[in-house]
Amino acid sequence: MSDETPPSDPPREVAGPPPGRPRRRIGIVVLIAVLGVAILGAGGFGLWEMSSSPKLCNSCHIMKPYVDAWKTSKHKDVACVQCHYPPGLRDTVWVKYQAVTQVVKWATQTYSSKPFAEVEDGSCLRSGCHDRRLLQGKVTYKRGIIFDHKPHLEGVRRGRQLRCTSCHSQIVVGTHIEVTESTCFLCHFKGLKTSRDIQPIAGCTGCHQAPKGDVRVGSLTFNHADLVARGVKCESCHLNVVEGDGEAPRERCFSCHNQPEKLARYQDTPFIHDFHVASHNIECARCHTAIKHQLPPPIGVPTAALAPVVAPPEGVR
């Protein structure tokens, strides 16, 4: 026997992957990642655009009256988000988040039948919208009423800082961002009317111009220019043109609040107005009773004299 060991086979080389295969795998992974990001981006962009479309607003039944009012308003060619989303990405993202919470409330059936929305002044005054309205000066509204936006928005009125939506609101469904005249009357007349005298803010001529030419009322013909020259007060002739006191009954607080600490501040008028008017868009009519301002029925033949004479039924004497 020989002590020599048989020669062993030489070590075999383990075959590795062909050159270029790892690069191919990395390329596939990168491609899948890029496609995934693109799909997510396209989906996110689509959801962003969809959430900014009036069609989404109209998909909820409680929004239908407001969308219908928008379709017939002066803003019908302006997308909802142009007003309801303030300028700036940060604020826009915040409003988007609020909108998502509204969707959650709808899905969980915890929503209110009367949605609440705020429109910032920045949305109204942004470039291309009403950015030059403050420079426009006095304008004529409806039947010759004089109005100037600048003092109402830049100055403090009766100790209150007003917003665009303080006057342009939507208290009655069917109008969309129209002028709410009851708000005008509340500010101009509340606490300024007695049983014998009316002293509205800016006076009667602050909003109205005296009619030109002769005016005939019943059998009387007169000219306002003569009365103005003599310094005759408007309310000397125009009686009963203001109705209501515009009070804010405490009971109305209960429709929104039930916290004792908040109800205890009912008498704190400056805080109440700063929070509800300057900080938030709470319509005045939610708290105050209405004040009406209009001309009384024209003087003429009493309506009773115009009623037709009805003959009594047969057999009745």
Domains and CATH numbers, the chain: 25-117 (1.10.3820.10), 131-297 (no CATH)
The residue-averaged pLDDT of 80-103 equals 76
Higher pLDDT, 148 or 195: 148
Tens digits of per-residue pLDDT, 201-256? 888 888 888 888 888 877 888 888 888 888 888 888 888 888 888 999 999 999 88
Average pLDDT score over the chain: 77
283-296 pLDDT, tens digit per residue, is 888 899 999 998 87
**Token digits of residue 132:** 């030059």
Q: Express each pLDDT in 133-171 by its tens digit.
A: 777 788 888 878 888 888 888 888 887 888 888 888 765
pLDDT of residue 289: 92
pTM over 0.85: no
